[in-house]
Amino acid sequence: MFDEVLKGLTDFRRTKSYDLVTATPLIAWYLLGLVRQLPLAWTRMTDLVRGRISLLDFLQLVALTGSFVLMFLLIYLLVTRRTPERRMHGVWPRLVAGGGTFLGNAILLLEPVRLTLTLQIAADVLIIAGAVGSLVAASWLGRSFALMPEARQLVTNGPYALIRHPLYAAEMVGIAGLMLQFQQPWAVILGGLVFALQYWRTVFEERVLQEAYPNYRLYRARTWRFVPYVF
């Protein structure tokens, strides 16, 4: 009886239903961040419609919109992704992946601050660049998107032909913009932790991809981790 139950649980872990269950906490976390910022976004949108929005407030609305687009994209990928071919087990890989994901969204739960025009423009440029980069990387990654260190499918074309983790690189650019817009020093502390965890996360991911795909070693040798010709 015990063996049958264990086999049933093992089989269930290979299903799409299990994959959706594991993604539910992150989806809820993303939605919480969105809901937290909706009142401010609604206020700025109302001012825009009534024609009384300042340039600074308009830039803040643009930055918030970019953040929302990115969050909705990630939720979509979590729902539609394919089931993994191989997983990395253990506590540390999961803690690192979870921390790198949840801490980034936690910045949205802090109190927003009013920036100077120069800083708001800088924040907008970073957030828009991060959102656009994430959209491009995610469009190539598609249903291979993963939260934990997993092998769902090896993607080596598009932006992945130059760097191995373009989605994370773009996310970190966007997070740099978010850090400017929220309560300090907590936003910088959270952002710094996210950067460190994302790097650590790639170490675990590359390990499981190398185990799952024999040609990954050659792919890794000819590409950069985050920035072409730099790092």
- Tell me the HSE value of 122 on the side-chain side, using a 13 A CA sphere: 9
Is 228 a member of any domain? no
Is 230 a member of any domain? no
Is 135 a member of any domain? yes
Residues 44-58 have pLDDT tens digits of 999 999 988 888 888
The domain in which residue 41 lies consists of 2-221
Is 205 a member of any domain? yes
> How do 86-87 and 150-151 pair as beta strands?
antiparallel
Cα 101 to Cα 95, 127, 190, 191, 195: the distances in Å are 10, 17, 11, 11, 10
Global model pTM greater than 0.85: no
Contact 174, 127 (CB under 8 A): yes
Is 226 a member of any domain? no
Is 10 a member of any domain? yes
Is 50 a member of any domain? yes
* 20 dihedral zone (left: phi>0; alpha: psi -120 to 50; beta): alpha
Confidence bin at 93 (pLDDT 50/70/90) = confident
CATH code of the domain containing 50:
1.20.120.1630
Is 192 a member of any domain? yes
Residues 116-132 have pLDDT tens digits of 888 988 988 898 898 88
How big is the CA angle at 59 (ends 58 and 62), to the nearest 5 degrees?
Answer: 90
Structural domains of the chain, count: 1
Confidence bin at 10 (pLDDT 50/70/90) = low
